[in-house]
Amino acid sequence: MGTYANQIHDYNPGIAPNGVFWTIPISDDAIDVNPGKGSARLAARDMAIRDYGEFVNSLLPGPSEPAVVSFDVRWFDPQSRRNAKEDTEGFAGEFVVTEASIEWSSHQAGFRFQSDPASASIPIYALVGNERNGVFF
């Protein structure tokens, strides 16, 4: 287990049969994005998810337990704007560096966690923007 020996929870939706991983459908009302203004919000309440315990186990995929998570992530207060374009990599984007906050909780049999309130968040770096890559480049 090495690097992940101290990890006790790994919440993710697993790996789909087509190989897509760590991706789950989320309702339109859970997302509010305005990249031009440098604001966005991603929020979910009581989302069913699996807890694989640790990262490597989630890739195998190994055993998991049902869990529920709630979160509210916000990007706000634009600081600066950045553009990126890499023709050889097929990537371009327009981004806004922002402040950010998050509040997060989880529960499952025998375990419950609640983060500090969003107001206690100390962001190091946050971005919101539009990106084009792959067939959309």
- Say whether pLDDT at 88 is over 50: yes
Measured CA to CA, the distance from residue 127 to residue 99 in angstroms comes to 8
| DSSP sequence for 8-59 | ---EE--B-TTS-BS-----GGGEEEEGGGTEEEEEEEEEEEEE-SSHHHHH
pLDDT range class, residue 36, cuts 50, 70, 90 = confident
pLDDT at 105: 98
- Say whether pLDDT at 38 is over 90: yes
- Say whether pLDDT at 107 is over 90: yes
Rounded percentage of the chain residues whose pLDDT exceeds 70 = 97
pLDDT at 96: 96
Q: Are 1 and 56 in contact (CB under 8 A)?
A: yes
pTM beyond cutoff 0.75? yes
Amino acid identity of residue 51, one-letter, is D
> What number is the average pLDDT over the span 41-68?
94
pLDDT range class, residue 12, cuts 50, 70, 90 = very high
Measured CA to CA, the distance from residue 133 to residue 88 in angstroms comes to 11
Measured CA to CA, the distance from residue 17 to residue 29 in angstroms comes to 27
Residues 6+ apart with CB under 8 A from 24: 13, 47, 49
pLDDT range class, residue 2, cuts 50, 70, 90 = low
> What number is the average pLDDT over the span 22-47?
93
> What number is the average pLDDT over the span 121-130?
92
Measured CA to CA, the distance from residue 119 to residue 102 in angstroms comes to 8
pLDDT at 1: 47
- Say whether pLDDT at 6 is over 90: no
